[in-house]
Amino acid sequence: MRRPAVTATHATAPRLTATAPYLGVRILHLDSGRHWRGGQRQVFLLAAAQRERGGEPLVVAAPHSPLAGRLKTLGIASAAVSMRADFDVIAMLRVRRIISRWCPDVVHAHDARAHAIAMGALVGLSLPLIVTRRVPFIPKGRLKYGTRVAHFIAISHAVGDALQAGGVAPERRTVVYSGVPAPTAGAARDWRQEAGWPAHVLLCGVVGAMTAEKGVEQLQAIARQLPPDVRDRVRLVLLGGSAVGPDSFGGVAAYRAGFVDAIHSAMASLDMLWHPSGAEGLGTAVIDAMALGVPPVAFATGGLAELVVSEASGLLAPPGDTASFAKEVVRMASDTPLRQRLAAGGRARAAEFGVDRMVNGTATVYEAVLAARAGTALRAP
């Protein structure tokens, strides 16, 4: 049965409370990603938690995407819409039909393409649009970042600062850090055995999409600047991308594992994480590593500088400075007590970035947006 349209008044608008967040609220999520990355994981975790807390989420995702598949395993409502470009008119019309049938209280877009599709689908409608911004780049385009978006969620202060530089006023943006669940590693994968490496080598993991934006191109430069004895003692394990098999970077032997589903088990045997991204909104892979007691080395860029407390939960190098990054790798590889201290500090730091914090922060944004919408309706002549 089609749900009646919601009228935004104090009598009918959904109410979110501390004891019953999301109760009765219908949320239409849009995510255009075709792969399983940090953003898709956040959508999945958020939708699952919203349903557990009394909400009614429906996720519009790319057909046959990992996100759509995982949603089905939990029985979370989803719809498949291919979003091929920012101004894909066919996608806009399909999303608009879903909106007319589902009658959501909130539309929540989770990436730039979904943001554009949602705006097109909502032309002429008064439903509030919330957009999560995950990249620390200054946005361009007055239309997309204008007042049609009721509120922006920034996943770090670095992302929030970029929104401000792009003209988004403070009252229209809120920082809600991404959250990851407590690790359930189970049996750690034995990468030394899988790759045929000796037992004494130190395992350095690189986790992500293995694209230039994630800093993979920096690995060669970092590895080349390691002293020969350190290059001999470390090995790289690349968790992500499509390539599988042995490789090397700047004289450091490496193993490409391809996409790994059980990420906690894959990371649990690592001795340190290399995270050479040059522009990171936050870095959920780093949170995962710290939660598992795997200390990270990263560039102090974007949200990473907020996430990693240098010398307490990991080591940070100046942005883009591969020589300094290599020096921090040498420190960590050569100092077992330092690794142990950073591992303990990382576990404590990661605990501050739980899923509940992300879910509750999002609920606070929804509540403010819905309350403002209800108030506007009451003031209307």
| pLDDT score at 65 | 97
Same domain as 103, residue 195: no
* Helix, coil or strand: residue 350: helix
List b or e across 260-269, with b for residues whose CB sees 16 or more CB atoms inside 10 angstroms: beebbbbbbb
> Residue 283 — left, alpha, or beta (φ > 0 → left; ψ -120 to 50 → alpha)?
left
Q: Answer yes or no: is 1 within a domain.
A: no
State the Cα–Cα distance between residues 124 and 10, nearest whole angstrom.
Answer: 23
Find all residues with CB under 8 Å of 179, minimum gap 6, and list them: 42, 45, 287, 353, 354, 355, 356, 357, 358, 359
Q: Answer yes or no: is 169 within a domain.
A: yes
| pLDDT score at 18 | 52
Q: Answer yes or no: is 175 within a domain.
A: yes
Same domain as 208, residue 151: no
Q: Answer yes or no: is 184 within a domain.
A: no
Same domain as 110, residue 138: yes
Q: Answer yes or no: is 61 within a domain.
A: yes
Q: Answer yes or no: is 9 within a domain.
A: no
Asked if residues 256 and 265 have their Cβ atoms less than 8 Å apart, the reply is no
Q: Answer yes or no: is 313 within a domain.
A: yes
State the Cα–Cα distance between residues 192 and 199, nearest whole angstrom.
Answer: 6
State the Cα–Cα distance between residues 57 and 286, nearest whole angstrom.
Answer: 28
Same domain as 292, residue 208: yes
Q: How many domains does the chain have?
A: 2
Same domain as 330, residue 218: yes
Strand partners for 27: 57, 106
Query: Which domain range does residue 285 map to?
Result: 191-350
Same domain as 213, residue 346: yes
User: Which of 152, 200, 207 has its CA nearest to residue 176?
Assistant: 152
Same domain as 209, residue 146: no
**For the chain, percent helix, then strand, then coil, each to nearest 5?**
40, 20, 40
Each residue's pLDDT expressed in tens, for the chain with a length of 381 residues: 334 333 333 334 455 555 566 889 999 999 999 999 999 999 999 999 999 999 999 999 999 999 999 999 999 999 999 999 998 999 999 999 999 999 999 999 999 999 999 999 999 999 999 999 999 999 987 789 999 999 999 999 999 999 999 999 999 999 999 999 998 767 899 999 999 999 999 999 999 877 766 678 899 999 999 999 999 999 999 999 889 999 999 999 999 999 998 889 999 999 999 999 988 999 999 999 999 999 999 999 999 999 999 999 999 999 999 999 999 999 999 999 999 999 999 999 999 999 999 999 999 999 999 999 887 654 444
Alpha helices in the chain (DSSP H): 38-52, 66-73, 89-102, 112-121, 157-165, 191-195, 218-224, 228-233, 263-267, 284-291, 304-307, 322-334, 336-350, 355-379
Same domain as 209, residue 344: yes
CA 15 to chain centre: 27
How many CA atoms lie within 13 Å of 234's alpha carbon, on the beta-carbon side?
31
State the Cα–Cα distance between residues 214 and 175, nearest whole angstrom.
Answer: 22
State the Cα–Cα distance between residues 308 and 296, nearest whole angstrom.
Answer: 8
Same domain as 293, residue 224: yes
Same domain as 152, residue 204: no
Same domain as 338, residue 223: yes
Same domain as 170, residue 119: yes
Tokens of 299: 């560039």
Instruction: Give the global pTM.
Output: 0.91
| pLDDT score at 215 | 76
Looking up residue 42, the CATH number of its domain turns out to be 3.40.50.2000
Backbone angles phi, psi at 123, to 5 degrees: -55, 125
Starting at the edge strand found earlier in the chain, the sheet holding 272-275 runs 252-258, 234-249, 202-207, 272-275, 296-299, 315-317
Handedness of CA 67, 69, 71, 73 (dihedral sign): negative
Q: Answer yes or no: is 280 within a domain.
A: yes
CA angle 109, 284, 300 (to 5 degrees): 110
State the Cα–Cα distance between residues 204 and 197, nearest whole angstrom.
Answer: 13
State the Cα–Cα distance between residues 39 and 174, nearest whole angstrom.
Answer: 17
What is the residue-wise DSSP string for 17-78? -SSSTTTT-EEEEE---SS--HHHHHHHHHHHHHHHTT-EEEEEE-TT-HHHHHHHHTT--E
Backbone angles phi, psi at 107, to 5 degrees: -110, 130
